[in-house]
Amino acid sequence: GDSVTQMEGPVTLSEEAFLTINCTYTATGYPSLFWYVQYPGEGLQLLLKATKADDKGSNKGFEATYRKETTSFHLEKGSVQVSDSAVYFCALFRRGKLIFGQGTTLQVKP
């Protein structure tokens, strides 16, 4: 069945470091792909999305490119801030359902 696999965390970085969070998916066809972010004590916020191969989603300095050949949607940011500390979920939308990866906790230290 459809699934999403994320790198295990937690990921701990210093402020202004480069961030990569890996995400790969298993699905037939071309599902829409998403990154959601969850700050402590809050719901999920959509960070970015891509709906077809080679699409690049971007928002707030974060980027991810839909790679059909490697079935990946890795999240990157060139310079993280303390305020980026949160849990990040990769997800795909298929047959009326959002299917989430396990989530990756990011902690950014000043």
Q: If you count DSSP H runs as helices and E runs as strands, how many of each does the chain have, helices first?
A: 0, 12
Inter-residue contact 23 to 75 (CB < 8 Å) = yes
C-beta of 16: minimal distance to another protein in Å?
27
Q: How many CB atoms lie within 10 A of CB 110?
A: 7
State the binding string over 36-75 for another protein (x if CB under 8 A, else -): x-----xxxxx--x-x------------------------
Which of 32, 65, 72, 85 touches another protein (CB under 8 A)? 32
Which of 7, 65, 100, 107 touches another protein (CB under 8 A)? 100
